[in-house]
Structure 1
Amino acid sequence: MDMRPEPFTPPAPVPRTVPPSRLEVIRTVFNNPLELWGVPSYTLPWIETKFFKERTLIVNDPGLIRHVLVDNARNYKMSEIRQLILRPILRDGLLTAEGPVWKRSRKAMAPVFTPRHAQSFAGQMLRKSKEYAEKYEGVGAEGQVFDISVDMTEITFNILSETLFSGEIVTESDDFSDDVDSLLHRMGRVDPMDLLRAPPWVPRLTRIGGKRVLGKFRGIVAKTMALRQGKLHIDPASAPQDFLTLLLQLAGPDGLTMEEIEDNILTFIGAGHETTARALAWTLYCVAKSPQVRERMEDEIDRVMASGTQPVEWLDQMPMVRAAFEETLRLYPPAPSLNRAAIADDEWVSPNGERVRIDEDVTVLIMPWTLHRHELYWDKPRAFMPERFLPENRGSIDRFQYLPFGAGPRVCIGATFAMQEAVIALAVLMRRYRFDVTAETNPWPVQKLTTQPRDGLPMQVSLRPPKPSGVN
């Protein structure tokens, strides 16, 4: 008999059993799109439907996903509604640019994010994680409550600032985390005018309050660029050879425009750390509710860090820590939907001969949120079970049933960077501290570009208790 306790099932919307009315669709998409999806989205390989007379294909089948994102990716562009939301914020940043602009930017940034180069950041990630962990000095065994969603935004921003910008992002205050949250809350959600496909010049009343904070971010970028340009003008050899310098040196008729450089810097400052931050916070929450998983992670962290292994090797040396983070990415994917639109008619044939026709202009929704919780592809799909991602089990997971970083030409350029950063940060934090839930810890996932906990994530942080005598 299996005496192991049932795995923890984290909070998430229950699939709808009755289709929503048009008014419910508008209200739900505005408040929290994660609550929109019904039972078919979690049980069928694909679904054809209509939203406001627009034909939509919801895709969960890994083979069809591969067809759209990889095999025939040239036939699919970013969907209009996604661009209506993101382009006002990021303009021609890497997440929103298309065609030649995107190719130019992607090619320019690729050298910084190769696995080998990303691994060179490990030492800086370790140092900034240790510096941030000092925030919890003095909590003692009794503990103190912190909003972990805020703290993880701060630690990942510190790491991003140090690794890609050499610590020279010109922020003006200590409320950066609040600014990021405000930007995503005001600017990063669907407005009713988006659903109605109103042109960009039609005011989005829900975003009016976000223009001030967006202007603040643009100001941060302008000052950061000006500071570095000054250094490059005075003595190019003395300027840090980092991501910021690389972009500025690419300015010119054969490279990037200054506007494109600004857009990409904003993309990384405003959103480059946000996805990792949210996933780290959800990981600490899920681990706190899974004592056996936490114990295995702590044992692994203690052993590896005591051995003197360099942080660049931790991603491979800490499989349980990595698995816990990857399982959290499954349950709470930072990017819960990937939206595309067909440029021309297309067709895909499944291995058993079923044909799926995708007409020109049909919107294709590939949703990691439903795909990662799909009953056809996962055992106990709503449960937190990190062992799925241990090396001996990974082979059973299809490449296109797990998409925390997307896939194809537009796969997340910082995937290796994010994975390494997450394992290092978790190891540093969990080596000394315990993160536990309190009576006020009742998170609910909400989609605001990323999957974040509504009203934050208060958790009690305390010193880890000493191990019993004789336990290694």
Structure 2
Amino acid sequence: MDMRPEPFEPPAPIPRTVPPSRFQVIRTVMRNPLELWGEPSYTLPWIDTKFINQRTLIVNDPNLIRYILVENAANYEMSRVRRLILRPILRDGLLTAEGEVWKRSRKAMAPVFTPRHARGFAKQMLAKTEEYALRYDEAAAAGSVVNIANDMTELTYEILSETLFSGQIAAETEGFTNSVERLLHRMGRVDPMDLMLAPSWVPRLTRIGGTRLMAEFQAIVAKTMDERRALIRSDPEAAPQDFLTLLLQLERPEGLSTDEIADNILTFIGAGHETTARALAWTLYCVANSPHIRENMEAEIDRVLSSGAEPVDWLDLMPHVRASFEEAMRLYPPAPSINRAAIKADSWMSPEGERVDIPKGISVLVMPWTLHRHALYWEKPRAFMPERFLPENRDKLHRFQYLPFGAGPRICIGATFALQEAVIALGVLMKRFRFDMTPETKPWPVQRLTTQPRGGLPMRVSAR
């Protein structure tokens, strides 16, 4: 007899059973795109539909996803709607660049994010997390409530600042992380003009106020670059050999332009830590509602840390911690949608012989949000069940049914960095503290570039 408790089902929109009107589509996409999707998006392998006068193919079949994102990736560019939303923020950063600009940037940055190089950041990640954990001592003694969503944003920003920029970003942590929050809230929303595919010069009323925030970020980036350039000129030996120095060394006509370097720095310091922060907060929330899972994680953390294992090895030595983080990313994927458009007409044949025609210009949506909760590919898809990602179960998953970091040539360059960072952060925090629910802990997932908890994540912290 199975005595395990029923798994926790964290909050998420219930799939629609009635198609929305055009007005409802616009209103919902502006408010929270996660609430738009209907039952077919969670039950069918693909759907050919129309979305605001734009023919759209919603893709959930893992084999078709592999074809679009890997096998014939050259035929699929970032969709126009996605460009209209992201380019005002990130311009020619790695997430939004196309063609030769993207290829140059990706090639330039790849050495920093190889698994071997990422592992070299482990001790810095550990030191910054231990330093951050000291802030909880007083709160834990008093049983105070903290906003985990904000705290994880601060923590991951401090880790990113220390590892990639040697702590030399020209901004204060607290004010800067608040600015990131406001920028993504203001600039990361879908505007009706985006849905109508209006040119970028047409004003977006929902983003009023975002221009000033962007100017603040650009000033921080410019100052950061100037300070490091000055250090490189005055004392090359003293300049850290980090991500920032690497980019500035590529500042030449045949490498990256000054603007491209600035865009990539903005991408990393403005959004590079955001995805990991959200996933960490959702993980702590889910395990707080799953006591037996939390106990397994704590036992594993205690065992590994008491053994004196180096932090570089924690990712391999803590399968339950890693699995819980990965399951939180399944339920709340940091990047809930991947938007492409077909450059040329295309077609694909399923293993069962079903043909999918993909006309030129069609919008192609690969949505981790629906894919990760899809009835065809997951048992109890709405439940928090980390055991799916334990080593003995991983082979049961199709490589393209789980896409927290995307796939293909544009897969997230920092995936190994993020996984290592998350396991180290959870190991340090959960060794010393417990984070529990309060009556005010009622998060609701909202898409603002990342999957964020509306109203934050207030949780009570106590010492273990």
**Which TM-score bucket, shorter chain as reference?**
over 0.9
Distance (whole Å) between structure 2 residues aligned to residue 21 and residue 178 of structure 1: 36
In structure 2, what residue type is equivalent to 1:121? Answer: F
Distance (whole Å) between structure 1 residues aligned to residue 121 and residue 421 of structure 2: 9
Q: Which residue number in structure 1 is paired with residue 295 of structure 2? A: 295
Q: Which residue number in structure 2 is paired with residue 268 of structure 1? A: 268
Distance (whole Å) between structure 1 residues aligned to residue 173 and residue 339 of structure 2: 35
8 Å Cα contact 2:139/2:145 also seen in 1: no
Query: How does 1:125-136 map onto structure 2 within 5 Å?
Result: 125-136=125-136
Q: Which residue number in structure 2 is paired with residue 206 of structure 1? A: 206
In structure 2, what residue type is equivalent to 1:198? Answer: A
Query: How does 1:216-231 map onto structure 2 within 5 Å?
Result: 216-231=216-231
8 Å Cα contact 1:139/1:463 also seen in 2: no
In structure 2, what residue type is equivalent to 1:428? Answer: V
Distance (whole Å) between structure 2 residues aligned to residue 404 and residue 427 of structure 1: 21
In structure 2, what residue type is equivalent to 1:110? Answer: A
Q: So what's the TM-score if we normalise by structure 1? A: 0.98
**What is the CA-CA distance between 1:139 and the residue it aligns to?**
2.9
8 Å Cα contact 2:11/2:444 also seen in 1: yes
Q: So what's the TM-score if we normalise by structure 2? A: 0.99
8 Å Cα contact 2:154/2:173 also seen in 1: no
Q: Which residue number in structure 2 is paired with residue 178 of structure 1? A: 178
Q: Which residue number in structure 2 is paired with residue 37 of structure 1? A: 37
Distance (whole Å) between structure 1 residues aligned to residue 18 and residue 328 of structure 2: 28
Distance (whole Å) between structure 1 residues aligned to residue 139 and residue 410 of structure 2: 43
Query: How does 1:441-452 map onto structure 2 within 5 Å?
Result: 441-452=441-452
Distance (whole Å) between structure 1 residues aligned to residue 53 and residue 421 of structure 2: 43
Distance (whole Å) between structure 1 residues aligned to residue 303 and residue 3 of structure 2: 27
8 Å Cα contact 1:123/1:311 also seen in 2: yes
**What is the CA-CA distance between 1:140 and the residue it aligns to?**
4.1
Distance (whole Å) between structure 1 residues aligned to residue 142 and residue 185 of structure 2: 34
**What is the CA-CA distance between 1:226 and the residue it aligns to?**
0.5
Residues 1:394 and 2:391 are matched in the alignment: no
Distance (whole Å) between structure 1 residues aligned to residue 244 and residue 142 of structure 2: 43
Distance (whole Å) between structure 2 residues aligned to residue 138 and residue 253 of structure 1: 53
Distance (whole Å) between structure 2 residues aligned to residue 53 and residue 220 of structure 1: 40
Q: Which residue number in structure 2 is paired with residue 419 of structure 1? A: 419
Structure 2 regions of 5+ residues with no counterpart? none
8 Å Cα contact 2:140/2:433 also seen in 1: no
Query: How does 1:285-364 map onto structure 2 within 5 Å?
Result: 285-364=285-364
8 Å Cα contact 1:189/1:449 also seen in 2: yes
**What is the CA-CA distance between 1:173 and the residue it aligns to?**
6.5
Q: Which residue number in structure 2 is paired with residue 378 of structure 1? A: 378
Residues 1:248 and 2:248 are matched in the alignment: yes
Structure 1 residues 139-189: Cα deviation after superposition (integer angstroms, max 9, x where no partner): 345511000000000000000000000000000573222211110111011
Q: Which residue number in structure 1 is paired with residue 235 of structure 2? A: 235
In structure 2, what residue type is equivalent to 1:170? Answer: A
Structure 1 residues 111-149: Cα deviation after superposition (integer angstroms, max 9, x where no partner): 000000000000000000000000101234551100000
Distance (whole Å) between structure 2 residues aligned to residue 53 and residue 208 of structure 1: 26
Residues 1:169 and 2:148 are matched in the alignment: no
**What is the CA-CA distance between 1:21 and the residue it aligns to?**
0.4
Structure 1 residues 364-401: Cα deviation after superposition (integer angstroms, max 9, x where no partner): 00000000000000000000000000000000000000
Distance (whole Å) between structure 1 residues aligned to residue 173 and residue 438 of structure 2: 30
Distance (whole Å) between structure 2 residues aligned to residue 192 and residue 139 of structure 1: 43
Moved more, 135-144 or 373-382: 135-144
Corresponding residue pairs, total: 464
Q: Which residue number in structure 2 is paired with residue 100 of structure 1? A: 100
Structure 1 residues 69-125: Cα deviation after superposition (integer angstroms, max 9, x where no partner): 000000000000000000001110000000000000000000000000000000000
Distance (whole Å) between structure 2 residues aligned to residue 9 and residue 172 of structure 1: 38
Structure 1 residues 204-243: Cα deviation after superposition (integer angstroms, max 9, x where no partner): 0111111111111111101100000000111212200000
Structure 1 residues 309-343: Cα deviation after superposition (integer angstroms, max 9, x where no partner): 00000000000000000000000000000000000
Q: Which residue number in structure 2 is paired with residue 121 of structure 1? A: 121
Distance (whole Å) between structure 2 residues aligned to residue 174 and residue 352 of structure 1: 54
% same residue: 73
In structure 1, what residue type is equivalent to 2:206? Answer: T
